[in-house]
Amino acid sequence: MSTENTLVIVMKPDASVGQIANVTARVQQIGARVHLSEGEEQTIIGVIGNGSPINCEQIQSLAGVERTVPITRPFKLASREFHPQDTVVPVNGLQVGGRRLTVMAGPCAVESREQILETARIVKAAGGHALRGGAFKPRTSPYSFQGMGEKGLRLLAEARQVTGLPIITEVISPEHVPLVTTYADILQIGARNMQNYALLHAVGAAQRPVMLKRGMMSTIEELLMAAEYILSHGNERVILCERGIRTFEKYTRNTLDISAVPLLKQLSHLPVIVDPSHATGSWELVIPVARAAIAAGADGIIVEVHPNPAEALSDGAQSLKPERFTELMASLDAIATAVGRTL
Amino acid sequence: MSTENTLVIVMKPDASVGQIANVTARVQQIGARVHLSEGEEQTIIGVIGNGSPINCEQIQSLAGVERTVPITRPFKLASREFHPQDTVVPVNGLQVGGRRLTVMAGPCAVESREQILETARIVKAAGGHALRGGAFKPRTSPYSFQGMGEKGLRLLAEARQVTGLPIITEVISPEHVPLVTTYADILQIGARNMQNYALLHAVGAAQRPVMLKRGMMSTIEELLMAAEYILSHGNERVILCERGIRTFEKYTRNTLDISAVPLLKQLSHLPVIVDPSHATGSWELVIPVARAAIAAGADGIIVEVHPNPAEALSDGAQSLKPERFTELMASLDAIATAVGRTL
Amino acid sequence: MSTENTLVIVMKPDASVGQIANVTARVQQIGARVHLSEGEEQTIIGVIGNGSPINCEQIQSLAGVERTVPITRPFKLASREFHPQDTVVPVNGLQVGGRRLTVMAGPCAVESREQILETARIVKAAGGHALRGGAFKPRTSPYSFQGMGEKGLRLLAEARQVTGLPIITEVISPEHVPLVTTYADILQIGARNMQNYALLHAVGAAQRPVMLKRGMMSTIEELLMAAEYILSHGNERVILCERGIRTFEKYTRNTLDISAVPLLKQLSHLPVIVDPSHATGSWELVIPVARAAIAAGADGIIVEVHPNPAEALSDGAQSLKPERFTELMASLDAIATAVGRTL
Amino acid sequence: MSTENTLVIVMKPDASVGQIANVTARVQQIGARVHLSEGEEQTIIGVIGNGSPINCEQIQSLAGVERTVPITRPFKLASREFHPQDTVVPVNGLQVGGRRLTVMAGPCAVESREQILETARIVKAAGGHALRGGAFKPRTSPYSFQGMGEKGLRLLAEARQVTGLPIITEVISPEHVPLVTTYADILQIGARNMQNYALLHAVGAAQRPVMLKRGMMSTIEELLMAAEYILSHGNERVILCERGIRTFEKYTRNTLDISAVPLLKQLSHLPVIVDPSHATGSWELVIPVARAAIAAGADGIIVEVHPNPAEALSDGAQSLKPERFTELMASLDAIATAVGRTL
């Protein structure tokens, strides 16, 4: 893909004429055009690339350079400039990113046949569109429940057969991608793996839509660069997910970055889903935050629902009981209408 | 005010029997009750206070103590437990915190008679409820425009007379409180002054409603503690304002903490206003984020509107043009209905 | 003060020729020179100011502008470019910022005559150079000990008379500046007040050295801008203090930004002091972190010492006992020698 | 491994007697002991486990529970309580974690035979102890240089043969672990992969020392939990690395958490290495920050050195030139002596 790379080089106030000439020569060597702006106190050098990448790090280490300021956004395939129309990702009958919102719901982890089938029925009955459930769980502690593995995947497939709901489940290792692809309708990349590039390559080569969650301390630019990895490996069916970032606030598990929703829609053509359960860590906050997400322009939400949160093997505190999920769906319906969408 | 202060003292695994006895004795000296939980590896001491404050710092420095965990929330007057009903703050004909939402709008700074009168008419015409505008501006640079001072206050008062809109303006120093109180309907405490205790005392003693903005570096608990200062000095008309916190994300000026809205409503009885302009720093994000705020349960918003943002002396990039403000009002109306409120 | 203001304007990829011309005309109106760099995809406009300030916010709100990138650092009087030699602040016989390091020590708050006199003797005996102690305390809770006020100042003065140690104490309100100046050798601006501009004005006009603590969520640039306020009001005796910033890490009270020490020395000519007590919140971490500060090039440290931390009315957990302070002094001596300084 | 799990359950102020009884019963079901502390306003329940893990999430979702506070630290094998003596990791003749400090140095990425051999000779000549160099590079952009792969590993092995320096190199995917183990003396887990559990499992099973870098978004507790994964899979030769965390500060690439050094030494028995190159992103800050690390008690550092930073394919801006590395070694020697270590 040919693209311009534009940057600004800020020279130190005491940079010598020779240093400025040296930097200019270096930039011209790689075929870029140079525009000198000489002030009385400081010289700045505008660089317009010709398609070859410009290595800021190299330039920054040249004598006399104070800093470099990249101008061009580093993502291409993920950017709206590159692809002005909204991308709609087809998922087994569902359209993620269209006028109709997508609600994905289910337990944090698949725990048993009864649990997942019961939850699937609840989700279906309340009007949810897809079933979530983890079979491979990335857990902070090696002593915590790590998921049911392939057995969990089979139970998810059974729940899909019973309810017709497409399923979304997390894949945590490149070697599991073929296995998970066999069962799942959407491959989920979790927040902790947003920059696991080997995994991004693997799902980039897979024949399934991918939902990519923002890392809890990743910038919006890094999220779009991670999407770029998947897109550049040939998979165009990428769904972005905002799930809260890590801040100093302690009352909530994370801080949902609500502005990220309209910003991602502005910068990118990819659909944006919000996860209010992980963002807040508390079921009492899920409904108002889910409403806010839809009001801000999200294409849908993914929430944790458990038939009995007090028995959940993980994340019970942030799971909705069935009746609260039904309440959420009703409540979202009104907001959807208010912003010109449907549920 | 009598209140229990409950905390847990975690002893080090190698704490001696004598150290445990010493800590216990210290706590009992101040009249608190003690509950020992002795495990094989570690002892924890539950402390139930009797109303006297317990100084965690002192206890933490005693030999054998690993850490102390305060259990009781430190705010009282601001807490919903203390005051279960929603507080509605009457402001010159307006009711902040009731079923009807409050939209405060206006320029970042009062710049001229024409500018503030024109903006006031725009706000009024579009259905806004109060006029904002800074006369004393806290600015990062000593070389930036610092506001028109008392002349700006007089212009605000004139705009109120013309339109009937109550006015809200910032006070940045205790010595200015009497002056600003003469003109303003609501005294605003800015984010940078949230922990300026001398100023909190002064507005606590003033006879005006106060809108307290969350510091960009402040936790929700600290915001409620700052409200507690004002309340404890006798002023019960406090309005909280979420305006974004500082995070690592660079595309937006701050990160609006949307979960803070339902959380503050849960923890406190005070009204909650959201400022999408300062939170995002970009007018393009103001409308979707304002919608999200109302959907999450906020009692209103405060936004920047300028008749000509490209001429604004401060914060032009985040100011709405008049026609965009009108669009915002229409858009909020639908969301308000969806959440059972009115505009 | 005449200075160039240099910035780069990045136009949107779809900006029209008319929009580019309009932005250019706007910039030229204020007398700045313009350098256009037109790429195939995007135009960037280099702006070299002529001394008048350029309002980025105004430019950013013009049609077709994607963003503006300020190039010139906004601080002048505080910058090393403006003042290449190190500033040494003379304080009642002491030289802060010279080859000899400065150790300021004492309790968080003055609590009684005995406490402050005993601590002063300990500090003096161990080789400390100045006595710290708060008389006006900014406290998160209105129910916490707020300091002894003027009585505390008188006790500090008595401790100075007895030991010869200069005293540093915090001032929290503009109206207190004359009073505190009567007693103190150094006025301290606390982290919560770093952007209390009314207070910065007041100490800028005072005839005393000022130690300015970095706000817990302030950038290095904002710290230097706050110093600029004081300097621009005529007080050149400013000492900077790094005391830790707020991050997501919970095991420590704050995260000491150790890189800020060499960075501040690079960007500014002002002396830099480090506060390991507030940064860590734990006396066990004070000694290693104090060593690190000196090794990184700090001009000194300010630490909490209390004759009996378990009786301290505030911050006992982070206060050193007398014997630990003596140990610290010995330990710093070796590091000082290793970096070519003396204690 | 049998261990107690201790936690405190804070009941809501309005929790009913039945709810308290229900929570108590649930905890007793799993064999834990319960200590009730009933205040007038609030009940807290101390829970002392019997070795079975207690699922806080489940308890938190029970009716009447306000929150749960875990008391026991979740890491065991990594904790100093479990293993009081310092762990010294033997690496091909080197002892990481003993009295002698370890300096690992080399380029960010292996780029060519000449580059890596020349750097190895520079590192060896200046007294460095190990050679670093990436063959598999995790890069934010899919369009950046991704490393030389196995060819790079072979060049590293050749550099070891020539100089005798052990080599440390990053592994980014579980499937590469056997290959990288064939060549490397220390397997490095990069910051972005700190919670890549599949990878942690793989290196936990490998027969090589592992250096685990703290994620830029990770707490100290999470770093120790990641170490716990490796230790619990049978590999006891784990070295921790602090490399800076992400904060709001923009002048540096990351914020080095200097307090993490003494804190990790306090909480854990594992050696601690500091990476001042990635933490600061600027070669000008590397020397003072490296000094600070040693002064704070680190067991060594890992720095980037490149024969010609202006030609480096990655991270040139933070690489030291050969003469600066020599200067660093001399400068560290003095600090090492000051803290009772040797180089």
DSSP one-letter string for D133-190: -BSS---SSTTS----THHHHHHHHHHHHHH---EEEE--SGGGHHHHHHH-SEEEEP
What whole-number distance in Å separates Cα of residue A38 and Cα of residue A41? Answer: 8
Which residues on D lie below 8 Å from A56 (Cβ)?
317
Whether C42 and C111 have beta carbons less than 8 Å apart is answered as: no
Structure tokens at A84: 């002005």
Structure tokens at D207: 């027969």
Chain A residue nearest residue D321, CA to CA: A61
Q: Quick check: D252 contacting A, CB < 8 Å? A: no
**Run of H or E residues at B104:** strand B102-106
What whole-number distance in Å separates Cα of residue D14 and Cα of residue D249? Answer: 43
Chain A residue nearest residue C69, CA to CA: A69
Q: Residue range C279-293: average pLDDT?
A: 95
What whole-number distance in Å separates Cα of residue B184 and Cα of residue B179? Answer: 9
Please report the pLDDT score of residue A51 as a whole number: 66
CA distances from A334 to A103, A122, A329 (A): 14, 21, 9
Q: How far is D3 from chain B (nearest CA, A)?
A: 8
Please report the pLDDT score of residue C329 as a whole number: 97
Residue D116's closest CA among D334, D252, D305?
Answer: D305
Please report the pLDDT score of residue A2 as a whole number: 38
Please report the pLDDT score of residue B80 as a whole number: 94
Structure tokens at D45: 């329940």
Selecting from C217, C255, C337 the residue whose C-beta is nearest the C-beta of D259 gives C255
Contact state of C74 with B140 under an 8 Å Cβ cutoff: yes
Pick B187 or C140 by higher pLDDT.
B187
Q: Which position has the token pair 């458990």?
A: A306
Please report the pLDDT score of residue C35 as a whole number: 86
Identify from D34, D45, D48 which residue to disrupt to test chain B contact, counting B C-beta atoms within 10 A and taking the largest count. Answer: D48
Structure tokens at C266: 């690079």
What whole-number distance in Å separates Cα of residue A113 and Cα of residue A133? Answer: 12
pLDDT, tens digit (0-9, with 9 covering 90-100), for B274-301: 999 999 999 999 999 999 999 999 999 9
What's the whole-number average pLDDT of chain C? 92
Q: Quick check: A291 contacting B, CB < 8 Å? A: yes
Contact state of B39 with D13 under an 8 Å Cβ cutoff: no
Report the DSSP beta bridge partners of residue C132: C168
Q: Quick check: A299 contacting B, CB < 8 Å? A: no
What whole-number distance in Å separates Cα of residue D46 and Cα of residue A19? Answer: 67
Ranges B66-70, B257-261, C291-295, D234-238: which has the least confidence: B66-70
- Chain C, chain D: beta-carbon pairs less than 8 Å apart: 125
Selecting from A42, A46, A48 the residue whose C-beta is nearest the C-beta of C72 gives A42
Structure tokens at B202: 């002064």
Report the DSSP beta bridge partners of residue A8: A46, A69
Which residues on C lie below 8 Å from B228 (Cβ)?
141-142
Report the DSSP beta bridge partners of residue B62: none
Dmax (CA) of chain A: 76
Residue D186's closest CA among D174, D170, D172, D199?
Answer: D170
Which residues on A lie below 8 Å from C42 (Cβ)?
4, 6, 71-72
Contact state of A228 with D142 under an 8 Å Cβ cutoff: yes
pLDDT, tens digit (0-9, with 9 covering 90-100), for C206-225: 989 999 999 999 999 999 99
C 204-223 → D contacts, CB under 8 A:
217, 219-221
Chain C residue nearest residue D223, CA to CA: C249
Please report the pLDDT score of residue D2 as a whole number: 38
Work out the number of other CB atoms within 10 angstroms of the CB of residue D204. 22
Q: Quick check: B289 contacting A, CB < 8 Å? A: yes
Chain D residue nearest residue B249, CA to CA: D248
Q: Quick check: D255 contacting C, CB < 8 Å? A: yes
Whether B55 and D22 have beta carbons less than 8 Å apart is answered as: no
C43-48/C6-11 β-pairing: antiparallel
pLDDT, tens digit (0-9, with 9 covering 90-100), for A188-218: 999 999 999 999 999 999 989 999 999 999 9
Ranges A151-160, B297-306, B320-329, C133-142: which has the least confidence: C133-142
Structure tokens at D118: 């020349």
pLDDT along chain D (343 residues), means of 10: 69 89 88 82 82 77 87 90 94 95 97 97 98 92 87 98 98 96 97 95 95 96 96 96 96 96 98 96 95 98 93 84 95 96 96
What whole-number distance in Å separates Cα of residue C194 and Cα of residue C199? Answer: 9
Contact state of A228 with D138 under an 8 Å Cβ cutoff: no
**Run of H or E residues at B155:** helix B150-163
Please report the pLDDT score of residue B4 as a whole number: 59
Which residues of chain A carry a pLDDT beneath 50? 1-2
Please report the pLDDT score of residue B269 as a whole number: 98
Whether A324 and A290 have beta carbons less than 8 Å apart is answered as: no
Q: Quick check: D72 contacting B, CB < 8 Å? A: yes
Q: Which domains does chain D have, with CATH numbers?
A: 3-70 (3.30.70.1140), 89-338 (3.20.20.70)
The CB-side HSE value for C12 (13 A sphere, CA atoms) comes to: 16
What whole-number distance in Å separates Cα of residue D224 and Cα of residue D230? Answer: 10
Contact state of C6 with A39 under an 8 Å Cβ cutoff: yes
Which residues on A lie below 8 Å from D316 (Cβ)?
55, 57-58, 60-61
Chain C residue nearest residue A35, CA to CA: C37
CA distances from A188 to A122, A153, A209, B189 (A): 22, 13, 9, 44
Report the DSSP beta bridge partners of residue A188: A170, A211
* Backbone region of residue D81 per phi and psi (left: phi > 0; alpha: psi in -120 to 50; beta: other values): alpha
3-class state of residue A62 by DSSP: coil
Chain B residue nearest residue A340, CA to CA: B334
Contact state of C48 with A35 under an 8 Å Cβ cutoff: no
Whether B192 and C195 have beta carbons less than 8 Å apart is answered as: yes
Pick A224 or B26 by higher pLDDT.
A224
What whole-number distance in Å separates Cα of residue A261 and Cα of residue D18? Answer: 43
Q: Quick check: B255 contacting D, CB < 8 Å? A: no
Q: What angle do CA B171, B176, B179 make, to 5 degrees?
A: 100
Q: Quick check: B342 contacting A, CB < 8 Å? A: no
Q: Quick check: B296 contacting A, CB < 8 Å? A: yes
CA distances from B284 to A83, A266, A296, B95, B261 (A): 20, 9, 12, 29, 22
Please report the pLDDT score of residue D1 as a whole number: 38
Residue C1 pLDDT class (50, 70, 90 cuts): very low
Chain B residue nearest residue D40, CA to CA: B4
Phi, psi of B57, deg, nearest 5: -60, -40
Whether B6 and D42 have beta carbons less than 8 Å apart is answered as: yes
3-class state of residue B10 by DSSP: strand
Identify from C77, C197, C235 which residue to disrupt to test chain B contact, counting B C-beta atoms within 10 A and taking the largest count. Answer: C197
Contact state of C192 with B195 under an 8 Å Cβ cutoff: yes
Please report the pLDDT score of residue C300 as a whole number: 98
Q: Could you tell me if the ipTM is greater than 0.85?
A: yes
Report the DSSP beta bridge partners of residue B245: B255
Contact state of B57 with C314 under an 8 Å Cβ cutoff: yes
What whole-number distance in Å separates Cα of residue C124 and Cα of residue C116? Answer: 12
Q: Quick check: C28 contacting A, CB < 8 Å? A: no
Q: Quick check: D288 contacting C, CB < 8 Å? A: yes
Q: Quick check: C140 contacting B, CB < 8 Å? A: yes
What whole-number distance in Å separates Cα of residue A25 and Cα of residue A34? Answer: 9
Dmax (CA) of chain C: 76
Range B12-47 burial, b when 16+ CB lie within 10 A, else e = ebebeeebbebbbebbeebebbbbbbebeebbbbbb
HEC profile of D24-72: HHHHHHCCCEEEEEECCCCEEEEEECCCCCCCHHHHHCCCCEEEEEECC
Ranges B58-62, C275-279, D258-262: which has the least confidence: B58-62
Range C173-196 burial, b when 16+ CB lie within 10 A, else e = bbbbbebbbebbbbbbbbbbbbbb
Work out the number of other CB atoms within 10 angstroms of the CB of residue C3. 17
What whole-number distance in Å separates Cα of residue A15 and Cα of residue A11? Answer: 6
Chain B residue nearest residue D49, CA to CA: B39
Identify from B2, B248, B252, B255 which residue to disrupt to test chain D contact, counting D C-beta atoms within 10 A and taking the largest count. Answer: B248
Q: How far is C158 from chain B (nearest CA, A)?
A: 26
Please report the pLDDT score of residue A1 as a whole number: 37
% residues pLDDT > 70 (chain B): 98
CA distances from A253 to A247, A282, B72, B252, B260 (A): 9, 8, 20, 21, 12
Please report the pLDDT score of residue B150 as a whole number: 96
Q: Residue range B157-181: average pLDDT?
A: 97
What whole-number distance in Å separates Cα of residue D175 and Cα of residue A216? Answer: 26
Identify from D10, D30, D58 which residue to disrupt to test chain A contact, counting A C-beta atoms within 10 A and taking the largest count. Answer: D58
HEC profile of chain C: CCCCCEEEEEECCCCCHHHHHHHHHHHHHCCCEEEEEECCCCEEEEEECCCCCCCHHHHHCCCCEEEEEECCCCCCCCECCCCCCCCCEEECCEEECCCECEEEEECCECCCHHHHHHHHHHHHHHCCCEEECECCCCCCCCCCCCCCCHHHHHHHHHHHHHHCCCEEEECCCHHHHHHHHHHCCEEEECHHHCCCHHHHHHHHCCCCCEEEECCCCCCHHHHHHHHHHHHHCCCCCEEEEECCECCCCCCCCCECECCHHHHHHHHECCCEEECHHHHHCCHHHHHHHHHHHHHCCCCEEEEEECCCHHHCCCCHHHCECHHHHHHHHHHHHHHHHHCCCEC
Q: Quick check: B224 contacting A, CB < 8 Å? A: no
> What type of residue sits at position B31?
G
What's the whole-number average pLDDT of chain B? 92
What whole-number distance in Å separates Cα of residue B6 and Cα of residue D43? Answer: 9
What whole-number distance in Å separates Cα of residue A241 and Cα of residue A225? Answer: 14
3-class state of residue B68 by DSSP: strand
Q: Residue range B135-149: average pLDDT?
A: 87
What whole-number distance in Å separates Cα of residue D131 and Cα of residue D125? Answer: 12
